[in-house]
Chain A
Amino acid sequence: GAVVSQHPSRVICKSGTSVKIECRSLDFQATTMFWYRQFPKQSLMLMATSNEGSKATYEQGVEKDKFLINHASLTLSTLTVTSAHPEDSSFYICSARRGQGDEKLFFGSGTQLSVL
């Protein structure tokens, strides 16, 4: 399968700070990447769709000013959690498709964010 790299795998930060998470497609170009959030024992919830060279599309209820997404190249998308608070503590996972005709999603390894 395709390789999607996500970094960091775990981050602990103080309330009020910002955290940046990187997602890279290592062996393919991804014009679209997806960012998910997962709380313990719950399913994946799509937060936003990241489009290379244009603004991200956010799902209803997701604050675009709090979760900043930048998809500056065909292999890199970043999610910045701004002014993080304890309720933002979650498992954040990025994903991508290999190509336009491929429906399969490949996931990064995820980032466990803990806000103190």
Chain B
Amino acid sequence: QKEVEQNSGPLSVPEGAIASLNCTYSDRGSQSFFWYRQYSGKSPELIMFIYSNGDKEDGRFTAQLNKASQYVSLLIRDSQPSDSATYLCAVSLSGSARQLTFGSGTQLTVLP
């Protein structure tokens, strides 16, 4: 079982819709959770982080964390074509010397 799992997609949504990206992790002791956006040929860019159960909103982005279910998600409201990218979920595993483990990423396409 992979430590951090994401649906690879591709996920396609129409412009203006809500895009929902999901991530599960295996280590119940995980402490910190991050969402990165990566455009093709570019390096990842941090867009959200969450440490506590519940929702965290930042502009059009909402991160949701449920530690009991070992599940973290990212919602993108009013999706724009510029949101088309690969979204990487990253988790700081317990006892990992603060290294981040990345999921394989979900490719999102927002259709104009």
Take A43-B103, A103-B32 as given contacts and tell me if A110 and B90 are in contact as well, using a CB distance cutoff of 8 Å: no
Task: Tell me whether A44 and B99 are in contact (CB under 8 A).
Answer: no
Task: Tell me whether A104 and B46 are in contact (CB under 8 A).
Answer: yes
Contact with A along B9-45 (1 / 0, CB 8 A): 0000000000000000000000110101000011111
Nearest-neighbor residue (CB-CB) of A107 within chain B: B43
**Interface: B97 (CB within 8 A):** yes
Q: How many chain A residues touch B (Cβ–Cβ < 8 Å)? A: 20
Task: Tell me whether A104 and B104 are in contact (CB under 8 A).
Answer: no
Contact of A42 among B46, B97, B101, B104 (CB under 8 A): B104
Task: Tell me whether A44 and B102 are in contact (CB under 8 A).
Answer: yes
The smallest beta-carbon distance between B77 and chain A, in angstroms, is: 22
**Interface: A61 (CB within 8 A):** no
28 A-B pairs in the complex with CB atoms less than 8 angstroms apart:
A34-B99, A34-B100, A43-B102, A43-B103, A43-B104, A44-B88, A44-B102, A46-B101, A49-B97, A91-B41, A93-B43, A93-B44, A103-B31, A103-B51, A103-B98, A104-B34, A104-B46, A104-B49, A105-B34, A105-B46, A105-B100, A107-B36, A107-B43, A107-B45, A108-B43, A109-B43, A110-B42, A110-B43
Hey, which bits of chain A sit against chain B, CB under 8 A?
1, 6, 34, 42-44, 46, 49, 91, 93, 97, 103-110, 112
Besides A103-B34, A103-B92, 19 more A-B contacts (Cβ < 8 Å) are: A6-B43, A43-B88, A43-B102, A43-B103, A43-B104, A43-B105, A46-B101, A49-B97, A93-B44, A103-B32, A103-B98, A104-B34, A105-B100, A106-B46, A107-B45, A108-B43, A109-B42, A110-B42, A112-B41
